[in-house]
């Protein structure tokens, strides 16, 4: 291999390597200002940009608060409860105790049926201890309660069969 291609390759590498470090130091390109904007007008434009950021942040916080205030239907064993999203944590902590109570009730009924010599037809509570059944939730508690009652009727009807 001749010297010229090697030198040309080394020179190209050197230019690219040093050029890449200078590119970061170049000033950022800003969009041009409207004609006649100087001094106080420029400050006013900058403040407006900050106000827009504040408005976006306030809008985000308002939506998050609204989302936390929405009502959801949660299933614990065979029971359906209406809960706000901000109260999921406390309900999730109490769910295993409620589920164990339903399970012990089921076991008692099954044992009583076996002692009497009857065939037990009750359904065992599902293995999922805590499950949220609504994605977006409801704005008011009345709608969520009616939906939970509707689901409870369906489950009770299937359990009686």
In a domain, residue 133? The reply is yes
The per-residue pLDDT for 142 is: 92
Cβ atoms within 10 Å, residue 151: 14
For residue 104, tell me if it sits in a domain.
yes
In a domain, 52, yes or no: no
Among 21-25, 57-61, 91-95, 150-154, whose mean pLDDT is lowest? 21-25
User: What are the pLDDT digits (tens) for 30-80?
Assistant: 777 677 777 777 777 777 776 777 778 888 888 888 888 889 998 888 888
| In contact, 44 and 121? CB cutoff 8 Å | no
User: Number of structural domains, the chain?
Assistant: 1
Give the tokens for residue 104: 């012990």
Assigned domain for 142 exists: yes
Per-residue pLDDT tens over the stretch 123-153: 787 777 778 888 888 888 999 999 999 999 9
C-alpha distances in Å from residue 121, one per residue of 65, 109, 114, 115: 46, 10, 11, 14
Please state the separation of Cα 143 from the chain's center in Å. 22
d(CA 65, CA 133): 20
Give a yes or no: residue 77 inside a domain: yes
Residue 26 lies in a domain: no
On whether residue 49 sits in a domain, the answer given is no
For the record, the structure tokens of 150 come out as 């509707």
What local confidence, expressed as pLDDT, does residue 1 receive?
A: 57
Q: Does residue 63 lie in a domain region?
A: no
Q: Which two tokens stand for residue 151?
A: 């689901």
Domain boundaries, position 143: 68-160
């Amino acid at each position: 291999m001749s010297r010229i291609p090697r030198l040309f390759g080394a020179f190209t590498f050197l230019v690219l390597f040093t050029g890449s470090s200078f590119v970061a130091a170049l000033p950022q390109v800003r969009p041009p200002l409207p004609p006649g904007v100087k001094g106080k007008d420029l400050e006013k434009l900058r403040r407006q940009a900050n106000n827009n950021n504040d408005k976006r942040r306030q809008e985000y916080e308002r939506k998050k608060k609204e989302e936390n205030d929405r009502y959801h239907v949660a299933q614990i064993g065979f029971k359906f409860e209406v809960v706000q999203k901000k109260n999921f944590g406390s309900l999730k902590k109490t769910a295993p105790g409620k589920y164990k109570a339903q399970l012990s009730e089921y076991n008692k009924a099954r044992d009583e049926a076996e002692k009497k010599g009857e065939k037990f037809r009750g359904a065992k509570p599902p293995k999922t201890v805590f499950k949220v059944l609504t994605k977006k939730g409801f704005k008011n508690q009345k709608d969520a309660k009616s939906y939970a009652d509707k689901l409870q009727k369906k489950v009770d009807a299937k359990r009686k069969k």
